[in-house]
A and B are shown apart, each in its own frame.
Chain A
Amino acid sequence: GAVVSQHPSRVICKSGTSVKIECRSLDFQATTMFWYRQFPKQSLMLMATSNEGSKATYEQGVEKDKFLINHASLTLSTLTVTSAHPEDSSFYICSARAGGLPDTQYFGPGTRLTVL
Chain B
Amino acid sequence: AQSVTQLGSHVSVSEGALVLLRCNYSSSVPPYLFWYVQYPNQGLQLLLKYTTGATLVKGINGFEAEFKKSETSFHLTKPSAHMSDAAEYFCAVSGYGNYGQNFVFGPGTRLSVLP
State the A residues within 8 Å of B (CB): 6, 32, 34, 42-46, 49, 57, 91, 93, 95, 97, 100-103, 105, 107-110, 112
Contact = CB atoms under 8 A, between A and B. Distances in A.
B107 interface: yes
B46 to A, nearest CB: 8
Given A102-B95, A102-B101, A44 B90 contact: yes
A98 to B, nearest CB: 12
Contact of A110 (B36, B43, B49, B108): B43
A34 B107 contact: no
Contacts, number: 59
Interface residues on B, range: 20 to 34
A11 to B, nearest CB: 13
Interface string B11-36: 00000000000000000000010101
Quick one: which of A6, A44, A102 has the most chain B CB within 10 A?
A: A102
A95 B103 CA distance: 10
A43 B43 contact: no
Given A57-B100, A93-B44, 5 more contacts: A32-B101, A45-B105, A107-B43, A109-B42, A112-B41
